[in-house]
């Protein structure tokens, strides 16, 4: 009997060893270091003491109404505030510092010579942070159960609250991992750390406001609203987190590798998810508009929000497009061997090929899809002919034209600068800011000097380069400007697409037999 149990334990130990060997080595290393660190021990101990203290003090403050009156809300607010500090601040900062230290100390260079991919490095850091989150959650689970027993809040609302905290913590942690490899040098790392702390403090306030409102108005939402909010939160966080993780892995990858294709695929997935969720809300509210039983009951609110969604996506794709348009057009043989070689691959995957021209076209396509969705949503919610619909359509055309024109100028400027210096695509953000500012200042300054500084400036078509003033005029109802700007943007887009084949389709290189054998051997070793 003893021998049989000994054999079972040995088999169990061997299984555990095999499981440990199959885990990400970065996860194992980070877990051992983080769970022994002073930061984790202090945070975990303080969370234990604070949760116990609030359970006692809060219960005493609610006496004697605790026995006959629902008292879950005030207790749950205190537990949320205790949980939010380690989840939404300590863990993201620790994850950022963990990856930043690897970069500063040169450990990352040692990891690059191993078989670990950049995505595995980022995933190992994230899984270690996720393990810390789970431990903090375990501390508060008995306290949350105690608050639930005090009545005043239902289980679905409690699940939505905990999901909100977890999803926000995951998103902020991955944002910290994305921010770590962006700057270079001690000064850049310190600036990025201050920026991360600022973002975390703002997120703490915004998420805390929503969480406390959710606790205090627990019964105001229907079951379908809770289900939709939970599903949409998971979908948006998952897609956005994938964008940040692929971008972080691309920044950690060697310069000779393909850094663009996976990031663009992740951006396409994120665009599909966000617009799909908004489309569902639009359709759902329209179907139940007459009975006033829409999913959110906010048809008019969504009608007013959609134009701002279009503005946000225009700015979003302008920022992304500036970095894509600033990429280097010189592809290494390693990247060129991985380009699509078939006709169908070139037809459908051309926009995913690294390079400034394909990046500009990809950003313009994403912006066009978002703006078409906004215009379609407005026409779908309300009958055609609404003044707001016409204004949004005209402004969308002008914004698209200016976006393409500005990104074209960024691409030309970045190409000229690359003749004298090598820089990261993030420099495109600075180029976009400078060019957009000059396009507003120069025409307006010339007009003011030429007209002897009039007290009431009047717009003319000589100010078409001034995108801010022109869009303002279109928003005020002028109907002869948006087609001019849109036509200019489309002409630039088609002109660059006409020369796309010469720049991309001839770059495909066959894989040498030696490289093919080495890749097959590496794949067999991993299996």
Contact between 92 and 128 under an 8 Å Cβ cutoff? The reply is no
**250 in a structural domain:** no
Burial class of residue 194 (count of CB atoms within 10 Å of its CB; 0-12, 13-18, 19+): exposed
Segment 245-256 shows an average pLDDT of: 83
Segment 48-58 shows an average pLDDT of: 90
**313 in a structural domain:** yes
Closest CA to 261 of 333, 351, 182: 351
Rounded Cα distance, 247 and 498, in Å: 29
In this predicted structure, what is the pLDDT of residue 20?
57
Q: Please check whether residues 295 and 210 belong to one and the same domain.
A: no
Helix then strand then coil, % of the chain, to nearest 5:
80, 0, 20
Q: Please check whether residues 39 and 158 belong to one and the same domain.
A: yes
Q: Please check whether residues 210 and 297 belong to one and the same domain.
A: no
Phi, psi of 302 (to 5 degrees): -65, -35
pTM of the model: 0.83
Segment 162-179 shows an average pLDDT of: 91
Q: Which of 204, 220, 236 corresponds to the end of one domain?
A: 220
Q: Among 62-66, 80-84, 319-323, 351-355, whose mean pLDDT is lowest?
A: 62-66
Give pLDDT tens digits for 493-526: 888 877 765 555 556 666 666 666 766 776 655 5
**446 in a structural domain:** yes
Q: Please check whether residues 282 and 197 belong to one and the same domain.
A: no
Q: Please check whether residues 212 and 282 belong to one and the same domain.
A: no
Rounded Cα distance, 165 and 455, in Å: 53
Rounded Cα distance, 346 and 30, in Å: 41
Task: Please give the distance of CA 441 from its chain centroid, rounded to a whole number.
Answer: 32
Q: Please check whether residues 146 and 25 belong to one and the same domain.
A: yes
> Band of the pLDDT at 293, cuts 50, 70, 90?
very low
Q: Please check whether residues 334 and 201 belong to one and the same domain.
A: no
**2 in a structural domain:** no
pLDDT at 292 over 50: no
Q: Please check whether residues 214 and 280 belong to one and the same domain.
A: no
Burial class of residue 129 (count of CB atoms within 10 Å of its CB; 0-12, 13-18, 19+): buried
Q: Exposure pattern of 495-516 as b/e (b: 16+ CB <10 Å)?
A: ebeeebeeebeebbeeeeeeee
Q: Please check whether residues 439 and 326 belong to one and the same domain.
A: yes
Number of domains present in the structure of the chain:
2
Q: Please check whether residues 444 and 320 belong to one and the same domain.
A: yes
Q: Please check whether residues 210 and 273 belong to one and the same domain.
A: no
Query: Cβ neighbours of residue 123 under 8 Å, at least 6 residues apart?
Result: 24, 26, 27, 245
Segment 160-182 shows an average pLDDT of: 90
Q: 154: which 2 tokens?
A: 């239902």
- Name the H helices within 382-426: 387-417
Rounded Cα distance, 20 and 331, in Å: 39
**225 in a structural domain:** no
Torsion of CA 455, 461, 463, 464, to 10 degrees: 150
**11 in a structural domain:** no
In this predicted structure, what is the pLDDT of residue 183?
77
Phi, psi of 218 (to 5 degrees): -65, -35
pLDDT at 291 over 50: no
The region, left, alpha or beta by phi > 0 then psi within -120 to 50, assigned to residue 114 is beta
pLDDT at 126 over 60: yes
Distances (CA, A) of 28 to 112, 129, 279, 416: 17, 12, 42, 46
Instruction: State the residue for tokens 């930061």.
Output: 39
Q: Among 9-18, 266-275, 401-410, whose mean pLDDT is lowest?
A: 9-18
CA-based radius of gyration for the chain: 27
Closest CA to 273 of 239, 229, 226, 247: 239
In this predicted structure, what is the pLDDT of residue 454?
84
Give the H/E segment covering residue 441: helix 427-450
In this predicted structure, what is the pLDDT of residue 289?
46
**417 in a structural domain:** yes
Q: Which of 188, 220, 252 corresponds to the end of one domain?
A: 220
Closest CA to 384 of 396, 397, 371, 393: 393
**240 in a structural domain:** no
Q: Please check whether residues 409 and 511 belong to one and the same domain.
A: yes
Query: Cβ neighbours of residue 72 under 8 Å, at least 6 residues apart?
Result: 147, 148, 150, 151, 152, 153
Which domain, by its residues, includes 450? 269-527
Q: Which of 181, 196, 220 corresponds to the end of one domain?
A: 220
Closest CA to 387 of 468, 479, 287: 479
Give pLDDT tens digits for 365-418: 998 888 888 777 777 766 555 566 777 778 888 889 999 999 999 999 998 888
């Amino acid at each position: 009997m003893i021998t049989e149990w000994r054999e079972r334990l040995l088999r169990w130990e061997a299984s555990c060893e095999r499981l440990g060997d199959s885990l990400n080595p970065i996860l194992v290393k980070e877990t051992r270091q983080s769970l022994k660190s002073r930061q984790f021990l202090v945070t975990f101990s303080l969370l234990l003491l604070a949760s116990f203290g609030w359970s006692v003090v809060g219960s005493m403050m609610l006496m004697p109404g605790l026995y006959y009156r629902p008292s879950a809300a005030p207790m749950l607010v205190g537990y949320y505030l205790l949980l939010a500090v380690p989840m939404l601040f300590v863990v993201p900062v620790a994850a950022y510092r963990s990856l930043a230290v690897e970069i500063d100390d040169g450990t990352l260079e040692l990891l690059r010579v191993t078989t670990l991919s950049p995505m595995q490095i980022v995933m190992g850091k994230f899984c270690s942070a996720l393990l810390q989150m789970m431990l903090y959650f375990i501390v508060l689970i008995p306290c949350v159960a105690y608050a639930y027993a005090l009545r005043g809040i239902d289980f679905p609302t409690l699940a939505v609250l905990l999901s909100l905290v977890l999803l926000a913590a995951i998103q902020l942690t991955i944002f910290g991992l994305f921010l770590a490899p962006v700057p270079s040098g001690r000064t850049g790392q310190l600036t990025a750390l201050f920026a991360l702390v600022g973002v975390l403090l703002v997120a703490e306030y915004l998420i805390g406001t929503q969480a406390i409102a959710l606790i205090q108005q627990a019964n105001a939402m229907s079951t379908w609203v809770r289900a939709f909010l939970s599903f949409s939160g998971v979908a948006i966080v998952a897609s956005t987190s994938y964008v940040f993780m692929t971008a972080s892995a691309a920044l950690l990858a060697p310069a000779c590798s393909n850094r663009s294709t996976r990031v663009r695929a992740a951006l396409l997935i994120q665009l599909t998810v966000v617009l799909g969720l908004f489309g569902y809300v639009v359709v759902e509210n329209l179907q139940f508009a007459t009975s006033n039983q829409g999913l959110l009951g906010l048809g008019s609110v969504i009608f007013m929000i959609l134009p701002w969604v279009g503005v946000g996506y225009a700015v979003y794709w302008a920022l992304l497009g500036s970095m894509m348009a600033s990429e280097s057009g010189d592809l290494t043989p390693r990247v060129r061997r991985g380009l699509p070689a078939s006709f169908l691959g070139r037809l459908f995957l051309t926009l995913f090929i690294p390079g400034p021209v394909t990046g500009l076209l990809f950003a313009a396509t994403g912006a066009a899809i978002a703006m078409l969705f906004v215009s379609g949503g407005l026409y779908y919610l309300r009958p055609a002919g609404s003044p707001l619909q016409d204004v949004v359509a005209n402004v969308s055309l002008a914004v698209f034209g200016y976006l393409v024109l500005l990104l074209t100028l960024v691409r030309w400027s970045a190409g000229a600068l690359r003749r004298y210096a090598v820089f990261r695509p993030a420099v495109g953000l600075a180029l976009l800011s400078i060019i957009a500012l000059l396009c507003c200042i120069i025409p307006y300054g010339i007009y003011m000097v030429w007209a002897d500084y009039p007290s009431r400036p009047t717009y003319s078509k000589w100010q078409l380069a001034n995108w801010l003033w022109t869009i303002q005029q279109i928003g005020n109802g002028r109907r002869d400007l948006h087609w001019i700007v849109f036509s200019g943007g489309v002409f630039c887009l088609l002109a660059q697409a006409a020369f796309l084949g010469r720049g991309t389709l001839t770059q495909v290189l066959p894989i040498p037999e030696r490289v093919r054998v080495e890749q097959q051997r590496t794949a067999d070793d991993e299996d």
